[in-house]
Amino acid sequence: MADTKVRKAVEIDPNREPIVVVDDLHIIYRVYGAGGKGNAASAFSRVLRRESRPSMTEVHAIKGLSFVVYRGEAVGIIGTNGSGKSTLLKAIAGLLPPHSGGVYTDGQPSLLGVNAALMKDLTGERNIVLGCLAMGMTPAETKAKYQEIVDFAGLKKGFIQYPMRTYSSGMGARLRFAIAAAKTHDVLLIDEALATGDAKFKVKSKRRIEELRKEAGAVFLVAHQLDVVKETCDRVIWIDDGMMHMDGPADEVVAAYIEATGK
């Protein structure tokens, strides 16, 4: 039977409507970093010998994941650092092309990440406008949403006029979340976007996620605070070293995870 194989068959529920299908997904990405001797002579001899850059390594981050997510589900993704959680979200969002296999979605997925890029030399004000326009809003919609975003981010008075490089990490995260949450999304992917916020903001953002979940087809959440995952999600996928370890109801998987990691 198939269960002796590493990759198990995916169960398909014919009565529910799928919104995300991940099909035997492999992600390999290249990393360029400092490496080699770093002088011109060694680099030249390397080119002559037709070797590839020593500083370039290939990382096999996702090794054959398959699962189906249905409309209205909130899926938590847990695993240790470097297990491929963020990579998986990026792949679902279409930001990392698959090496083999595929990710199929209904509508354009949106990723809320910690380092969702905003331009750090620009004021918070300008970042809001640029962010909204990049998400495909019209200038009129941007204008209408502007005050809502400012209120939601709840920055200290005057900070909205300062360049974003002067923000603390928590303030930056709040503004980014506020911008991204201003739009309804078909598939919403949240990657640790709430980790740096303070207690008050966490309550606020949890409520907003609930709202977004009702409007969105599906929500994915990557978080290290297991209580947050348990509260927000009804299904949890546990990834280990880029492979599926467990997939099931939130309580069960989180309990098994806590046991395995010895918390």
Partner 1 sequence: MSHPERLGSSGGESVGTIAGPPHVSETLADYAARHGLKQSAARPPLRKYIQDVWARRNFIWAFASAKNISMYTDSRLGQVWQLLTPILNVAVYYLIFGVLLNTSRGIPDFIPFLVTGVFMFGFTQRSIQSGSKSVGDNLSLIRALYFPRATLPLAIAVVELQQLLTSLIVLMAIIFAFGEPLTFNMLLFLPILVLQLMFNIGASLVVARLGAFNRDITQLLPFIMRTWLYASGVIFSLPTLMGPGSKLAQYPWAADLLQMNPAYVYIELSRHVLLGKYSDYVENTLNMQHVGQLWLYAVIWSVVALVGGFLFFFRAEERYGRG
Q: Give me the residues that bind partner 1 (CB under 8 A), please.
A: 1-3, 5, 7-14, 17-21, 23-24, 29-30, 32, 66, 68, 90-98, 101-106, 108-111, 113, 115-117, 119, 121-122, 126, 129-131, 133-136, 138-139, 163
Nearer to partner 1, 32 or 200 (CB): 32
DSSP string spanning 45-68? HHHHTTPPPTTEEEEEEEEEEEEE
Nearer to partner 1, 87 or 254 (CB): 87
Q: How far is the CB of 227 from partner 1 (least distance, A)?
A: 27
DSSP 183: S
Q: How far is the CB of 95 from partner 1 (least distance, A)?
A: 5
Q: How far is the CB of 252 from partner 1 (least distance, A)?
A: 19
Q: How far is the CB of 258 from partner 1 (least distance, A)?
A: 28
CA–CA dist 239, 255 (Å, integer):
14
Amino acid letter, 46: R
Residue 70 parent element (H or E) = strand 56-70
Nearer to partner 1, 7 or 224 (CB): 7
Q: How far is the CB of 88 from partner 1 (least distance, A)?
A: 12
* Burial status of residue 43 (CB atoms within 10 A of its CB: 0-12, 13-18, 19 or more): middle
Amino acid letter, 23: D
**Beta strand 235-240 pairing with 73-78:** parallel
Nearer to partner 1, 114 or 255 (CB): 114
Phi/psi of residue 104, each to 5°? Answer: -120, 130
Nearer to partner 1, 17 or 252 (CB): 17
